[in-house]
Amino acid sequence: MSERGVGEGLADLGPARAGELLRLLRTTTPVLTSGLTLTALLALVAGAGRIVTPLTVQYALDHGLLHPHPGTADVVLRAVGIGAAGTVLAALASWWLNRRIFRRTETALAQLRADGVARIHEIQFERFGRLPSADLVSRLTSDLDAVTTFVQNGGVLLLVNAAQMVIAALLITAYSWQLALPALAAATLLLVVMRRIQAVVGRRFTVVRERVSAMQSVIGEAVTGIGVVRSTGTERRSRAAMDAAVEETAAAQRHTLVPLHTNTALGEVAISFITAFIVVAGVRWSTDHARWEPALHLSAGELVAMLLLVTFFVRPLQQLVQMLGEVQNAVAGWRRAMEVLATPSGVVAGPAARELPPGPIAVDLHDVSVAYGDNPPALRDLTIGIDPGEHVAVVGETGSGKSTFARLLTRQLAARQGRVLLGGVPIGQVSDLSFQRRVAIVPQDPFLFDASIADNILAGVRGDARALDEIVDSLGLRAWIETLADGLDTRVGVRGARLSAGERQLVALARTALVDPDLLVLDEATSGVDPATDVRVQHALGALTVGRTTVSIAHRMVTAEHADRILVFDHGQVVQNGPHGELVARPGRYAELHTVWVGHTLAGGPVPSPRDESAPRGCDERRGPTSTVRNDRSTP
């Protein structure tokens, strides 16, 4: 089992870059790192308040109880008063420390979650496609929950105990450095060994967090895909996958037990040695001090105080040993969340970013090649020009590169070589804000939020009811909306499950129309539409494509027939380029595809036209006449 715990595509923050992670922590969550001096002071006061008890016991014994005199009662009362005051002070400091750390930690984790979500939205599409969504969700939920659990269950106690252990060690040394030296040497050796074990445990807990993330992904798919599982009778296969994921997680958890148990065993041995040595040697030297140097002699009160201080030294050390697993689990979760923030942002902004020119956007590709990872190029040596306001259809068999071309134009993929220009501006230099306002894609399966139709149409756009009504009417969707029980207030369900595929497309088209882009990419937007809704979708598409540069990834040839120009893709290259009338009239790939499509169409019934044929070709209802001149810069 691998112990390397960095998610694919995220920043690799190994031990050598721990300083970078801490700097990022100070930058992103200043509330957690500010005021550390006060936090340390409160921990010292809380720890020192506990240590007052052994000192008051020594004072009461040596100056009163063991040597009675007229002022014994006053001595004892004074010692008890000081001890009580120290205990109260320690309690107040501990309460303040708990409140301070809890509030700051929860504030910091909430900020970390919010910043993590924001950074996820900024990750480049190409990198984001390699990241399992369940892993990203796990990093910002269960991984950070491990930090919360640790802080609430022992984080503050660990801090106070560390301060208490340091103060107790100093006092033991002050009472008798001869007794303290072996004890501190054993404790130091234990801490050194623990540090080595800590590195192993940390790596293994990182693997545990990754296995938990993978398990959540498998369970999530089994739940969301329950309809497919039941309808196909694959319950056994689904359960086997879940069982395997659960077993891998359990195995990773068990893998952490060996170093943890080793650490606990070594801790018990070292702690037992420290306690036994100080008790036996201290009592021996105190009761038989004639045989030892006078400097080793301890009074009865000092001996009792020494024995109590051993408890105050050993107990925190023992808790530190026992909490190693919780500490490393929290550190692993925190590191995985920080890796999200450390992932480079793909946002294009600032002085170097450029705006797209006004009006319909021209598209120019020069010797462009695109590949997915280390795979062979999906697009090769493309040189294509699309005029402003032109409607271009892209056709080809499955795997020919059509959808890759759509992803390239919408910055979901970056060219490995060559230049992609939008309106004369390199696509990588276009500011995010300009790109979002001017370029839009309608995918095959649009994503809808679990909200109303109106909310989905208005998502991400500043619009009001009037703008919404205008869009619905302009796309001819009013008749469909009126058939719904709640009209525009109809809830669509998770991912739009309460709507048909065609109805989801209608909502997506209305949402895109409200954005009013100048470059529209339709990625087979009608491929899954049922016949009953197809007429509405085609009418909406016809209205939406008017007056803007449009690239339609055509699944059906009816879209290609009514486009200004057609690009025929085959094995990642454009093999034909021209209008429908020219391409269908001469032998070639397009004529073959069209012939096959016509045969299926005649067998299955007529296919509605994508726009009203009564409107003259080349007429732009928004911007006036459009050019029908074919781009002679394109691949022949």
**Which CATH number covers residue 36?**
1.20.1560.10
Between 489-503, 550-564, 592-606, the lowest mean confidence (pLDDT) is in 592-606
Distances 407 to 125, 129, 523, 621 between C-alpha atoms, Å? 9, 12, 9, 29
Contacts 24+ apart (CB under 8 A), 217-222: 217/132, 217/133, 217/134, 217/135, 218/242, 218/245, 219/245, 220/134
Q: Are 467 and 514 in contact (CB under 8 A)?
A: yes
Question: What's the confidence (pLDDT) of residue 568?
Answer: 93
Residue 253 sits in the same domain as residue 308 = yes
- Residue after which a domain boundary falls, among 342, 377, 397: 342
Residue 633 DSSP one-character state = T
Q: How confident is the model at residue 286 (pLDDT cuts 50, 70, 90)?
A: low
- Identity (one letter) of the amino acid at 558? V
From 342, 372, 395, the end of a domain falls on 342
Q: Is the residue at 564 inside a domain? A: yes
Residue 336 phi/psi, 5° resolution?
-65, -35
Give CA–CA dist 314/271, Å, rounded: 6
Residues 299 and 371 in one domain: no
Tell me whether residue 562 is in a domain.
yes
Residue where a domain terminates, one of 342, 375, 402:
342
331 phi and psi angles, rounded to 5 deg: -65, -40
CATH number at residue 520: 3.40.50.300
**363 and 417 in contact (C-beta within 8 Å)?**
no
pLDDT value of residue 527: 56
Mean per-residue pLDDT, 486-500: 86
Whether 392 and 337 share a structural domain: no
Q: Residue 6: inside a domain, yes or no? A: no
Range of the domain at 94: 27-342
Do the beta carbons of residue 163 and residue 317 sit within 8 Å?
no
Residues 234 and 269 in one domain: yes
Examine residue 349 and state whether it is found in any structural domain, yes or no: no
Q: pLDDT band at residue 369, thresholds of 50, 70 and 90?
A: very high
226 plus 136 within the same structural domain: yes
> 1 lies in a domain?
no
Residues 368 and 337 in one domain: no
- Residue 515 CA to residue 495 CA, distance in Å, equals 20
Choose from 160-169, 421-430, 475-484, 489-498 the range with maximum mean pLDDT. Answer: 421-430
449 and 406 within one domain: yes
Residue 608 in this model has a pLDDT that exceeds 50: no
In a domain, 22, yes or no: no
Lowest mean per-residue pLDDT among 256-265, 507-516, 551-560, 613-622: 613-622
The model's pTM: 0.65
Q: In what order do the strands lie in the sheet containing 425-426?
A: 377-386, 363-371, 417-422, 425-426
Number of domains in the chain: 2
Whether residues 493 and 559 fall in one domain = yes
CB 361 within 8 A of CB 519: yes
Answer with the residue of higher pLDDT: 77 or 431: 431
* 75 & 220 share domain: yes
CA 322 – CA 53 distance, rounded (Å): 25
pLDDT at 365 over 90: yes
Residue 632 lies in a domain: no
**Across the chain, what does the average pLDDT equal?**
77
Q: Are residues 259 and 219 in the same domain?
A: yes
pLDDT at 409: 92
Confidence class for position 421, pLDDT limits 50, 70, 90: very high
**Residue 331 and residue 372 in one domain:** no
Rg (Cα) of the chain, in Å, rounded?
A: 36
Under the banding of pLDDT at 50, 70 and 90, the label for residue 459 is confident
Residue 567 · residue 394 · CB < 8 Å:
yes
For residue 5, being part of any structural domain is answered with: no
Q: Concatenated DSSP letters for 489-558?
A: G-B--GGGTTS-HHHHHHHHHHHHHHH--SEEEEESTTTT--HHHHHHHHHHHHHHTTTSEEEEE-SSHH
Residue 213 and residue 296 in one domain: yes
